[in-house]
Each structure stands twice: as C-alpha cells, then as structure tokens.
Amino acid sequence: MLDTITTYVAIGDSFSEGLMDHDPEQENRYIGWADRLAEMLVDSPAGSPDLSYANLAIRGRLLERIIDEQVPKALALKPDLVSLCAGGNDCLRPKADIDDLANQFERAVVALREAGIEVLMCNGFDTEISTPLIRAVRPRVGIYNTHLWSIAQRHGCHMIDVWGLRPLYAKDMWADDRIHLSPKGHDLVARQALATLESGHSLPVKGFAMPARPTRPIRDVMSEESKWAREHFAPWIGRRLRGHSSGDKLGAKLPDLTRVRKSE
C-alpha cells in the first residue's frame, strides 16, 4: 500500500521537464505532466495538501548523465516519491546498447529503493504512427520497455504505461515536433500517473488500435514531412553532429523542494 506522498521529485529529460508546454505566467518555462501530477497530488488521497515538489529534469539529457547528476540530488532531497523517466534520448541513437541502458536504469532504481523512496517509472512511447524517421526506433523502444517492466516488478515500482495509453496517440496530443507532447498530452499522462499511484491500475483503455487519422493527399503529406524535417529534424541532427544538446548550459527549472501552489 502506497504511503501518503508529502514530497515528490521528478528527474529525467524533456519529457519530465514538459518541453513545448509553455507556462503562461513565466516566459521560457514549461508545465509538463510531472508539474500537473504534483498539483493533482495536493487533492489526492495518495498525496497531501502540504505537498512539496522539485523538478530536476533537463531537456536533451542522456540516461548516464541523468543518473550521475540528478539521482544524487534526488537522494539528497529525501523525497517520498521520485519519478524516473529516462532513456528515450538514448533510444533515438542507432548504436544505443539497450541492455546496458537497462542495467544503468536498474542501478538507479536500486539506489532509490534502498533509500526507502517510492519510484514511479514510465515506459517509452509507441512510435508506430510517427514519421518514418522516428518509427524506425520502435523495435529498440519495445525491447527497452520490456526491460523496464521487469525492473518495475523486481523492485516494486509504479509504472506509467504510455505505450498502451492509446488515446495519447491522437494528433492533438502531440506538439508540432512530433516528439514532445502538447498540453492535452501532458494532462493525459498526469492523469494516468495519478491513477497508477492511487490504485495501482492504469486508466481503462480498450484494444491496441491507434486512434484513426484522416487520409490526406500525397502532396499534403510530402509538404508536411518536408516542413517537419526542415524545422525539427535537421536542427536535431545538427546538434548531434556538433556534439551539442538542447539542454546544454541549462539547470533544473525547480531544483529545490517547493510547496505546490495549484493553478487557478
């Protein structure tokens, strides 16, 4: 049985930072699923009205750097709950060693669990209906997810099943870059996370089929793919070639445990 959560720390990459989901009250800041979950926990039987929250996630981070930099900081804060969602950026790289990633991830989970911290994990997105360049990583993500489920079971962790959350794959759940979620997508993941923490079960979803999408003329498809490659894929490739990351020189947006103030 999950004890009452009074302190929560999110660690990871852009998924937990909430990239593409802008805070209307603070320029250049984002409000993602983890921030929404923190607010939801204030009113949840699993949480507390006095909940304190920190978000150490930084966009572009690979798993090794997340473990080296963010896990020690999370341990030092001694929270009741840590959400550890990482490895997606590694899976995008063709030469990624998925088994080694899983080993690294498990070592981080062991450190957190030995400290008495509840761990909320998240599996990887299903890229089946994404652009072909992203769809190519689906086999690697599938293998990584299998490892993650095993790790969660071995160490008594909670799992946000985004792979199986089929409503998440509707077009309006995603930002224009097709990699990050829209505000609606982040809200759905937050509700999935809350359901997992409150009851141990995910939101009810039927079947494996993806949400239907209207067919488009081939000319429109080619135009959209070209625009996406020019505006989103090419800059990503450019950063890889230069050895840069989108999160270089950035710090955590909420590095210290802070009392959660719900949005109006």
CATH number of the domain that 172 lies in? 3.40.50.1110
Mean pLDDT of 3-9: 95
The better pLDDT of the pair 234, 89 is held by: 89
Does residue 240 lie in a domain region? no
Across the range 67-76, mean pLDDT stands at 98
Please indicate, yes or no, if residue 218 is contained in any of the structural domains: no
pLDDT value at 194 more than 70: yes
pTM value?
A: 0.85
Q: What is the pLDDT confidence band of residue 220, given thresholds at 50, 70 and 90?
A: low
Confidence class of residue 133 from pLDDT cuts 50, 70 and 90? confident
Structural domain of 132 = 7-202+254-259
Q: Grade residue 241 by pLDDT with cuts at 50, 70 and 90.
A: low
Pairing of strands 118-122, 81-85: parallel
Does the pLDDT at position 45 exceed 70? yes
**In angstroms, what is the C-alpha Rg of the chain?**
18
Q: Which of 112-116, 127-131, 155-159 has the lowest mean pLDDT?
A: 127-131
Q: Above 90 in pLDDT, residue 56?
A: yes
- How many C-beta atoms lie closer than 10 Å to residue 142's C-beta? 16
Structural domain count of the chain: 1
Nearest to 249 by CA among 30, 60, 42, 6: 60
- Residue 179: which pLDDT band, with cuts at 50, 70 and 90? confident
What are the residues whose beta carbons fall under 8 Å from the beta carbon of 61, sequence distance 6 or more? 12, 13, 69, 70, 86, 89, 245, 247
- pLDDT for residue 1 is more than 60: no
pLDDT in the model for residue 59: 92
235 in any annotated domain: no
